Structure 1
Amino acid sequence: MADITRRLGWRHLRGAPTAHIRHHRRGTLLHDGPGLSFWFRALTAAISEVPVDDRELAMTFHARTADFQDVSVQATVTYRVADPAVAAARLDFSVDPDTGAWRGTPLEQLGTLLTETAQQHALDVLARTPLAAALADGVTAVRERVAAGLGAEPRLPATGIEVVAVRVMALRPEPEVERALRTPAREQIQQEADRATYERRAVAVERERTIAENELASRIELARREEQLVEQRGTNARREAEEQAAADAVHAQAEASRKVRLADAEAQRTERLARAEAARAVELAEAEARRTERLGQAEAARTVALAEAEAAKAVRLARVEADAAREVGAARAEAQAAWLRVHTEAGIDGATTLRALTADRLAENLPRIDSVTVAPDVLTGLLTRLTPGEPA
């Protein structure tokens, strides 16, 4: 819409670059072109504003196919006014000189013209096409037919209209028919989905079996590796033991060598100490021997003196004991002689005397007897034998 400004009975119009302005005064064309700006008087001016930009016309209409099915067509026609003078002459593009607004509805008239023309060609092509073919290839067929029909329509160039492009977005049947048409596809899709599910389950089972086999193979391999690990550990343990034994042997050999060296050093030290101790012991022994010799000589002299004194004492005692023994023997001899004389004088024979003497000697030599029990028969026999005058 043009921008019109009032100034003291005059009007100033300022058009847009996409609007073609035609200014007539008293039947004479004064201004003609897009994007004009000029002064005019409202009482004498006749102004038309024709848009020359591209316009989009969306349309939706219903059609019937060859099998009597209703479909809805969604399309868009892009057009523009190629000849503004012709369009202004065929349609009312005049504007109010005070407000700049169109007095009529030229764009609606163009929309109706284009919609009816496009619908006519779309209905013509769909009426001879079955529903299935229309849904499959109808969009292209309708677009080509509508584009060709609009391009060949003589009224559009006569009105100054040029069709730029035709687009058909969709051909849709009724909802019930669409659902019915979708059912086989849905069933097929469901069957494909079920088949895919079964195949997926089969693949899952196969994969589970493969996984189980792999797990079993992994366990077998793990067991084999564990066996190898045990063997390797045993080998390592044996090697470690051998290395430890070798190290212990080396350590023991070194320790033995060290102990041998220490023993040799200790033996040498002990030998030196022993030699020193032996020398010292020899010296002490010699000194002790000399002291002992001196003590022995003194002890020997004392012992000799004591022995001589003891010998003299023993000789004196022996002489005294001998004298006493002689005296005792003499006394005993005298007693025995007297005892014998008594028995002889008493008329006892020599045998009885000898038995009595024997008993006396035996009594002297017997041990001490505290008490003696003599049976009557023994005592009787003994008394009988001791009685003088009876035969023995």
Structure 2
Amino acid sequence: MATITRYPFVRHLRAAPTAHVVQMAGGRVRRSGVGLAFWFRPLSAVLSEVPVDDRELPLVAHARTADLQEVTAQVTVSYRFADPELATQRLDLGIDPATGRWTATPLEQVAHLLGELAAGHVMDAVAEMTLPEAVATATGALGVRVGAALRADERVTATGLEVLGVRVRGIRADADLERALQTPAREAAQSEADRSTYERRALAVERERAIAENELATRIELATREQQLVAQEGANARARADEAAAAALIEARAKAERQRVLATAAADAVRVQGEAEGAAERARLTAFADVPTEVLRTLALRELAGHLPEVGQLTVTPDVLTGVLAGMTGR
């Protein structure tokens, strides 16, 4: 928007760098250019301001496909005023000399014009497609087609406009139709997900089986080693028992041999002692062979007296004494 400074009887206008200002007086163009700054008389000057920057026009176009299904296209049209002076002749772009604001709504007129034209070209393009084709079509190619159609339209060039490009952001169908169209893809994706899940489960089962087999093999190996250990321990125990039995046998044999030797020695000692005692007895008897009987009796009494118990008191009667004396004298 131009900046207008008010002074008595005159005004000063300063335009923006992106605004083309056209000043007319008496039906003739007095000034025309971008970024102008000039003095003018408000009672005789007719001012128009045309934006020359690139502008974006978003719109929603409703269309029907070849199979009679309603769709909605989101379209953005890029445009600019290529011939500002021509635009001032076709559109009301005049500004108030006091405020610098547009006296009408020229951009709304441009939006209505481009919107109707773009919607018509979108409808023509979509009418050649079925619903699946329209929803799945490449929006870039559709935007190029609509842009080319707008640039070739005489009503656009006759208004001083230039279409820079058209972008179609997407074509949407009714929500129920979109869900129906998405169902096969969703089912395929779900099937792929299920397949992946089953494969993961199968892989997990296979890994669990391998782990179980490894555990079983480990347990078998441990059991085999334990069996070997038990067998080895049994063999060691038997060997120790055999060794102990052999040692005990050797000890018993040695003990029996010692006892035999001791018994033999004892028997020999007894025999020798007996022989000695017999010899002594024979010698003693031989010595007593020539001794008189009375002497032998006396020795016997003496030997007997040595073995008699101690007698505290002894009473000798005549009868006892007579018998003893008679025995001693042999009478």
Corresponding residue SS for 1:93: coil
Corresponding residue SS for 1:85: helix
Q: Aligned-pair distance for 1:96?
A: 0.5
Provide Cα deviations, 1:327-386, integer angstroms capped at 9, x if missing partner: xxxxxxxxxxxxxxxxxxxxxxxxxxxxxxxxxxxxxxxxxx9965333435678999xx
Provide Cα deviations, 1:237-286, integer angstroms capped at 9, x if missing partner: xxxxxxxxxxxxxxxxxxxxxxxxxxxxxxxxxxxxxxxxxxxxxxxxxx
Provide Cα deviations, 1:190-227, integer angstroms capped at 9, x if missing partner: 1211111111111112233344456677889999xxxx
Could you tell me how far apart the structure 2 residues matched to 1:37 and 1:146 are?
A: 39
| Residue 200 of structure 1: aligned partner | 200
Instruction: Tell me, yes or no, if the aligned pair for 2:10 and 2:42 is still in contact at 8 Å.
Output: yes
| Residue 75 of structure 1: aligned partner | 75
Provide Cα deviations, 1:153-208, integer angstroms capped at 9, x if missing partner: 01111111111111000000001111111222222221211111111111112233
Using a 3 Å threshold, how does the CA distance of structure 1 residues 43 and 198 change in structure 2: closer, same or farther? same
| Residue 158 of structure 1: aligned partner | 158
Question: Does 25-34 or 13-22 show the bigger shift?
Answer: 25-34
| Residue 131 of structure 1: aligned partner | 131
Corresponding residue SS for 1:80: strand
Provide Cα deviations, 1:4-54, integer angstroms capped at 9, x if missing partner: 110122111100111000111222322110000011111011001011110
Query: Is residue 40 from structure 1 mapped to residue 40 from structure 2 by the alignment?
Result: yes
Instruction: Tell me, yes or no, if the aligned pair for 1:95 and 1:103 is still in contact at 8 Å.
Output: yes
Letter in structure 1 aligned against 2:316: V
Superposed, 1:324-335 pairs within 5 Å as none
Could you tell me how far apart the structure 2 residues matched to 1:82 and 1:68 are?
A: 39
Question: Please, which of 359, 362, 375 is the counterpart of residue 317 of structure 2?
Answer: 375
Letter in structure 1 aligned against 2:8: L
Q: CA RMSD in A?
A: 3.0
Q: Aligned-pair distance for 1:139?
A: 2.3
| Residue 112 of structure 1: aligned partner | 112
Query: Is residue 121 from structure 1 mapped to residue 63 from structure 2 by the alignment?
Result: no
Corresponding residue SS for 2:104: coil
Corresponding residue SS for 1:32: strand
Corresponding residue SS for 1:110: helix
Using a 3 Å threshold, how does the CA distance of structure 1 residues 217 and 3 change in structure 2: closer, same or farther? farther
| Residue 84 of structure 1: aligned partner | 84
Could you tell me how far apart the structure 1 residues matched to 2:88 and 2:166 are?
A: 24
Greater RCO, 1 or 2 (C-alpha within 8 Å, sep 6+): 2
Could you tell me how far apart the structure 2 residues matched to 1:382 and 1:39 are?
A: 204
Instruction: Tell me, yes or no, if the aligned pair for 2:61 and 2:122 is still in contact at 8 Å.
Output: no
Where does structure 2 lack aligned partners over 5 or more consecutive residues?
224-310
Corresponding residue SS for 2:66: coil
Could you tell me how far apart the structure 2 residues matched to 1:129 and 1:195 are?
A: 34
Instruction: Tell me, yes or no, if the aligned pair for 1:75 and 1:166 is still in contact at 8 Å.
Output: yes
Could you tell me how far apart the structure 2 residues matched to 1:137 and 1:172 are?
A: 11
Superposed, 1:1-392 pairs within 5 Å as 1-137=1-137, 139-212=139-212, 373-378=315-320
Letter in structure 2 aligned against 1:373: T
Instruction: Tell me, yes or no, if the aligned pair for 2:140 and 2:167 is still in contact at 8 Å.
Output: no
Using a 3 Å threshold, how does the CA distance of structure 1 residues 216 and 40 change in structure 2: closer, same or farther? farther
Could you tell me how far apart the structure 2 residues matched to 1:138 and 1:383 are?
A: 173
State the TM-score, normalized to the length of structure 2: 0.66
Instruction: Tell me, yes or no, if the aligned pair for 1:125 and 1:141 is still in contact at 8 Å.
Output: no
Instruction: Tell me, yes or no, if the aligned pair for 1:126 and 1:138 is still in contact at 8 Å.
Output: no
Using a 3 Å threshold, how does the CA distance of structure 1 residues 8 and 202 change in structure 2: closer, same or farther? same
Provide Cα deviations, 1:65-84, integer angstroms capped at 9, x if missing partner: 11111100001010001111
Instruction: Tell me, yes or no, if the aligned pair for 2:82 and 2:160 is still in contact at 8 Å.
Output: yes
Corresponding residue SS for 1:204: helix
Instruction: Tell me, yes or no, if the aligned pair for 1:138 and 1:171 is still in contact at 8 Å.
Output: no
State the TM-score, normalized to the length of structure 1: 0.56
Using a 3 Å threshold, how does the CA distance of structure 1 residues 204 and 27 change in structure 2: closer, same or farther? same
Q: Which has more radius of gyration?
A: 1
% identical aligned pairs: 57
Count of residues paired in the alignment? 241
Letter in structure 2 aligned against 1:159: T
Could you tell me how far apart the structure 2 residues matched to 1:3 and 1:30 are?
A: 19
Corresponding residue SS for 1:176: helix
Letter in structure 1 aligned against 2:180: A
Corresponding residue SS for 1:111: helix
Using a 3 Å threshold, how does the CA distance of structure 1 residues 88 and 216 change in structure 2: closer, same or farther? farther
Where does structure 1 lack aligned partners over 5 or more consecutive residues?
224-368, 385-391
Could you tell me how far apart the structure 2 residues matched to 1:198 and 1:381 are?
A: 138
Letter in structure 2 aligned against 1:92: D
Greater helix percent: which structure? 1
Letter in structure 2 aligned against 1:9: F
